[in-house]
Amino acid sequence: MARPRVLSGIQPTADSFHLGNYLGALRQWVTLQETHDAFYCVVDLHAITVPTEAAALRRRTRVAAAQLFAAGLDPERSTVFVQSHVREHTELAWVLNCLTGMGEAARMTQFKDKSAKFGESAASVGLFTYPILQAADILLYQANSVPVGADQKQHLELTRDLAQRFNHRYGDTFTLPAPHILKEVEKITDLQEPTAKMSKSSSSPAGILDVLEQPGPLRKKVMRAVTDTGSEVVFDEANKPGISNLLRIHSALTGTSIAELVARFDGQGYGTFKKEVAEAVVETFTPIRERTEKLLSDETELDRLLAIGAGRARDVAQRTMVQVRDRVGFLPTS
Ligand code: TYM
């Protein structure tokens, strides 16, 4: 029997992924390649929804792809590709644009947050239709499951709505995708502002742990993470968001349950605990950083792997689009 299909994407908008990306998404991507037919893309078309310099985009797209392989995606088992290499993404996005209501798109909270940052009139139309392109990414591959962090929930709901609307209007075409979100790691928070999501666009770099960062700065950031009043290591999301976040990180990286950690650090204070968290982060990130550097030292090989991924992705995407064009009523090209 065919394996279920999984698809996810990540933006090349920074010089490194961060711990939130890694725990919320990437790590699941690696696990799922064992059981699923896996498609993962670096979403460069999404990256240009905010002002982006060409040289930076080129560099970050390769750095992103290298990190995906370095984190454990196997180019034999997973189809890893760059979104803009498969033209069908923009073509399907157009069709879906025409099925989406203005009000429906305007309700997307990520658009509201980002446009507030740039000022409503400076925000691009691309930023407005961003979630519709994301729906196209997913539906093109008939994905059953989409591993993401909690911040993507609303976009996945829109994707399901659009799939259902298309199927209803034009006949059964798209698989309805389910979000794959792990509760324990769905929202890793900022070390300096532990109630806010760890994010590339966060105000201070001190709050973010980057995958490609050196051990020194990583340790320093963990040791300086904002902690809460008191000195007990206990999990209490409402009153101790800082320590709760560090407990979640420790637990996810070492596989030790939070209850066990709380018992182990009873009476030991924050310092000893933070040191262990820092070591767990350094141990996880160091091999990924080293493999990323190696992959980046041979761009020809990296580009070759991405071309293979794009070829495999295109095969699937083109098959879906033949059906979509016909259902919508576009004449065949020959
Ligand atoms: P992006 O590039 O912002 O983030 C990549 C993935 O990392 C997750 N994530 C987090 N998880 C837990 N805690 C955090 N602090 C944290 N920060 C980020 C995100 O939820 C995401 O899974 N719109 C998507 C990219 C995208 C996509 C797709 C995803 C484009 N097309 C198709 C899935 C399917 C985004 O902005 O991800």
Q: What is the pLDDT of residues 253-311, one digit of tens each?
A: 999 999 999 999 999 989 999 999 999 999 999 999 999 999 999 999 999 999 999 99
Cβ of residue 42 lying under 6 Å from some atom of ligand 1: no
Check residue 189 and give its pLDDT: 97
169/310 Cα distance (integer angstroms): 30
| pLDDT, the chain, mean | 96
The one catalytic residue in 153, 187, 200, 220 is: 200
> Does residue 118 surpass a pLDDT of 80?
no
Which of 3.90.79.10, 3.90.1010.10, 1.10.240.10, 2.60.40.10 is the CATH number of 215-293?
A: 1.10.240.10
Distance 155 CA to ligand 1 centre (A): 10
Q: Is 114 annotated in the active site?
A: yes
Point out the least confidently predicted range of 77-81, 87-91, 165-169, 228-232.
228-232
Q: What is the pLDDT of residues 15-65, one digit of tens each?
A: 999 999 999 999 999 999 999 999 999 999 999 999 999 999 999 999 999
Q: What is the pLDDT of residues 159-205, one digit of tens each?
A: 999 999 999 999 999 999 999 999 999 999 999 999 999 998 877 89
pLDDT level of residue 206 (50, 70, 90 thresholds): very high
Q: Is 197 annotated in the active site?
A: yes
pLDDT level of residue 121 (50, 70, 90 thresholds): confident
Domain ranges of the chain: 5-185+299-328, 215-293
Q: pLDDT above 70 covers what percent of the chain? A: 100
Distance 186 CA to ligand 1 centre (A): 10
Distance 20 CA to ligand 1 centre (A): 9
Check residue 122 and give its pLDDT: 82
Q: Is 117 annotated in the active site?
A: no
Provide the CB-side half-sphere exposure for 54 (13 A, CA).
Answer: 0
> Exposed, middle or buried, 117 (CB in 10 Å: 0-12/13-18/19+)?
exposed
Cα-based distances in Å from 326 to 162, 218, 323:
18, 53, 5
Check residue 115 and give its pLDDT: 84
Cβ of residue 198 lying under 6 Å from some atom of ligand 1: yes
Is 3.40.50.300 the CATH number for 5-185+299-328?
Answer: no
Q: Which tokens belong to 49?
A: 């929804």
Angle at 7 between CA 78 and CA 281, to 5 degrees: 75
Quick one: which atom of ligand 1 is closest to the CA of 7? 34
> Does residue 110 surpass a pLDDT of 80?
yes
Smallest CA separation from ligand 1 atom 28, residue: 9
Check residue 173 and give its pLDDT: 98
Cβ of residue 146 lying under 6 Å from some atom of ligand 1: yes
Residues that constitute the known binding site: 11-13, 20-21, 137, 149-151, 188, 197-201
